[in-house]
Structure 1
């Protein structure tokens, strides 16, 4: 899961045989016939859902986690987009799906790597000192000698540094803009500062002790040299600027290197192509670790259910399409590329999108995306149909006596581009770097005051640090949703 602005041991897969189902003869239906037909579809969906739930398990999916761990171990400790580790992970998923009978394809696209050789920020006056700084990923470089200029502080509004109004309280021409992180993207903040005349941007964090880590999706997004500092340093510079001029020196030297990476897309051979049930998980890790929870867990869970579905049918009522995205950790690049290359007609054919990112966190909470915004937290509701997706998942968890609560559509994972395109979405999540509350510890178990995943984006995100119980629960959620939606979309309204 991306930050907001998220083989050895491989076993051979026994080939699976897809069962073709003859298409029924269509006849005109009376209202009673239609009602009876709907009942038959619903029973068919429930039967497939029960079969998939029974056969799909954490035990079965664990072999895929072992494969991902082995791939990372053999490739520098990670499976990051554009690396041999991700390429091997993609090949592993592709091979199993092809053997199972799916129509499988790679979707290649370009990503950019950033190699920073210099990142330095100094206060020149009135109180000279060095500050800990992180160069923005894919930031423009400064001249070799850096840029020296006074700071101008962007207004801290409800959308800090996001709108032109935030740059009217000071003269920004020829200065370095100081901006608080939050709400809009890093790219939007520095672009607004550049439009106001700034020659550089320093974005300070909105929480914690670490520097903000600005990132752009591609080099063209960077308008001015941009770097990140901590909340404490940002607030100290803001306070100093209220007393008089503050002059900084910022030096960023960075190389931008294009690479090719790929999504893996698999769909059933049959099913109504005008009604596509789409599901996805990102397959890439961060460079710092193997990414077994983030997001080997979602990738393995999706693969487990896809392989079990192939045992029963390649000809469901509705076409089922599975995707393993790349470049999520770089800014949802794979899912964004996929959605943007769809024609308007193709978008309309996608009935819904289900996302599974981090479903085995070691200090887990069972979180369901809040499609109807009933929690009134953060972003608003998803597109029409998202509320019904949430209900299908929560009703299932209730029947299984599994506690759960909502989580906001905050744009941190691959549902984001689908929501922007107006496609209803949903899914589950067991938490990232957020801190578990005492109430959540009472409800879900685990430790209060500790991150849902203490190994988030770190080397420790490995096979030893996952929760198999929550992994199993969320695989059941995937299985149930696939079984129902493969044959019956009537609950979407």
Structure 2
């Protein structure tokens, strides 16, 4: 903070100083401009932005004790601020002292958010001293700090002695007033799992505590560097993907004693020989639709692993009701889909599922189209039907799909299409999975932790799924490190960490692994040797939810043996968020990530996801604000990751507050499962699986 202002600046006309102030951020306006000299104070007093600056949001900006000192100095004489949001900043005890000094004389601040600031007993003592004097503050949020009994005692004493009795109930003190846990009606009336032992379970996790968020961020920065050097992508069959695999392999080799295995599997090469052609005919009116590599200018795009086709005549279409995710949708379609081109809207299940059903009903071709649920879901998108697909397919914009759908629903209107797709015939591409096994633990009872390593071709994929990749690497290295200590007992079960390739083009890496396991007779490599699979795909979305995969949403075409254990894993994650006074949401097992082949093989699964292209509801936003404050509650009506599958999915797209809590919840759950004396019996209770198979 400057101590002197040049006289030439002070001599400027007020209007010009206003212009200068217009270019300053709120933080600078509050603590760098004020109290420099009398004239500058007089000018800022009449400056509209300063007069109306009542809420200052500074959550999650990595502010330390020095920044807190500047703010504390500003608070002494500030007369405008009523709310200060400082959640998720490591100001610690020293920073709390500086803020407390400023609060003693402040007369206007009524609400202060200090959650997740690593404040301990000493900082709580300073804040308590300020509360004895301050008469304005009515809401102080201190959850998720490091305040123990002594700090709580200081705060309780300040509340008892404060004469403003009416405000005591508004003070929220960690471990003193328990925040209410929100349950939606559907969750409250349909318990996922009644865990009678949860009240006895310890939520202390030495393994989780050994993982530092800066280790995860170091890996994310390296993935960003790799993508930047490789044309902005880490998609399979690019240098960015290959260098990601090399980084993981080298880091694991240097920092663990785990058995590292690289498995190479072939993927069909997919590339267009020339631009596809798509024409529609509505009652004889033919339209030639626009193809472009820029999806925002295109009416349609190719679908990865489409087959080649050259229609010699127009083929009638049939609209598949709902989202084409069940046999019922295809059976009730009118006209019947056989020998027609099926038109299917995005949603509810994976595109590969839609493709499999379309094949089963003998369609001539498949047209997928976007759902238009938000402004960025109107254009066509680059998607995949998986390398086992045998259908010609295109992806249409929402507007084009709706136009064809509406016309085809009128039985008096004839709607048909013609398209030509020509695919290059090349050799398959080798792609790698990596797995790292603990040297101890029963290999016939394995807990598998997985994340996919590839991005889409259009971006670096730092949230999707650099966040899961980096977290999984941190999990593995932390476990190797803590196993080397004398006072941490090894697990009964083998832990296997895997990084899957080619998830973005049809969940191919994990499917390859599961298919091999189903055919293997090698002990430790059979599908029967897997007790549980945990999936971590997108853990740092900017408009995040704390999403937990919900065992109740497992599709009925999966073996029922996986359901009881999946429900229990979901409950473990849920209980961690409840215990830590954090909001949470259940997310569907919709088949869009690497848990899918494990569930299909009957393996209990679970995991976390911070949200991808779903929209945060007003209810979610309000509920998250109750727990976290407005600075961390996000935006209603906006998708969870606005940079999902885009070039802007960079290191700046990561919400560190979300990422850190997801990492902690994941590590706690890994350790809890690994410490259960009979994990197999817990996940696959004979009475429950027999009942489900009736």
Shared fold (TM-score, shorter chain, > 0.5): yes
**What is the number of residues matched between the two proteins?**
443
- Tell me which of 276, 281, 295 is aligned to 1:119: 276
Q: Give the equivalent residue in structure 2 for 1:255.
A: 424
- Tell me which of 318, 329, 344 is aligned to 1:153: 318
1:358 pairs with 2:358 = no
- Tell me which of 234, 243, 251 is aligned to 1:96: 251
Residue 244 of structure 1 and its aligned partner are, at CA, apart by: 3.2
Identify which range, 114-123 or 414-423, moves more after superposition. Answer: 114-123
1:296 pairs with 2:466 = yes
Unmatched 5+ stretches in structure 2: 1-197, 290-298, 485-489, 625-632, 684-694
Residue 363 of structure 1 and its aligned partner are, at CA, apart by: 0.9
Deviations 1:343-370 (A, max 9, x none): 4772222111111110010111101111
Question: Which one has more relative contact order, counting CA pairs under 8 Å at least 6 apart?
Answer: 1
For the residues of structure 1 that align with 2:224 and 2:449, how far apart are their CA atoms? 23
Q: Partner of 2:449: helix, strand, or coil?
A: strand
Residue 166 of structure 1 and its aligned partner are, at CA, apart by: 4.7
For the residues of structure 2 that align with 1:210 and 1:190, how far apart are their CA atoms? 20
For the residues of structure 2 that align with 1:411 and 1:160, how far apart are their CA atoms? 11
Q: Give the equivalent residue in structure 2 for 1:65.
A: 220
1:52 pairs with 2:210 = no
Q: Give the equivalent residue in structure 2 for 1:9.
A: none
For the residues of structure 2 that align with 1:212 and 1:202, how far apart are their CA atoms? 12
Is the CA contact 1:160–1:166 (under 8 Å) kept in the aligned structure 2?
no
Unmatched 5+ stretches in structure 1: 1-41
Moved over 6 A (4+): 194-197, 376-381
Q: Which has the higher strand share?
A: 1
Q: Partner of 1:244: helix, strand, or coil?
A: coil
For the residues of structure 1 that align with 2:500 and 2:581, how far apart are their CA atoms? 32
Deviations 1:371-400 (A, max 9, x none): 2459x9999985231111112111122221
Change beyond 3 A, Cα 1:161–1:236: farther
1:450 pairs with 2:638 = yes
Q: Give the equivalent residue in structure 2 for 1:325.
A: 500
For the residues of structure 1 that align with 2:634 and 2:573, how far apart are their CA atoms? 23
1:130 pairs with 2:299 = no
Identify which range, 267-276 or 337-346, moves more after superposition. Answer: 337-346
Q: Give the equivalent residue in structure 1 for 2:563.
A: 383
Identify which range, 225-234 or 347-356, moves more after superposition. Answer: 225-234
For the residues of structure 1 that align with 2:354 and 2:546, how far apart are their CA atoms? 33
TM-score (norm 2): 0.59
Change beyond 3 A, Cα 1:188–1:78: closer
- Structure 1 vs Structure 2 CA RMSD: 3.1
1:222 pairs with 2:390 = yes
Residue 135 of structure 1 and its aligned partner are, at CA, apart by: 2.2
TM-score (norm 1): 0.81
Superposition map of 1:241-320 within 5 A: 241=408, 242-257=411-426, 258-313=428-483, 315-320=490-495
Q: Give the equivalent residue in structure 1 for 2:230.
A: 75
Is the CA contact 1:336–1:417 (under 8 Å) kept in the aligned structure 2?
yes
Residue 274 of structure 1 and its aligned partner are, at CA, apart by: 2.0
Is the CA contact 1:111–1:260 (under 8 Å) kept in the aligned structure 2?
yes
Residue 66 of structure 1 and its aligned partner are, at CA, apart by: 0.6
Residue 487 of structure 1 and its aligned partner are, at CA, apart by: 3.0
Answer with 1 or 2: which has the greater Rg: 2
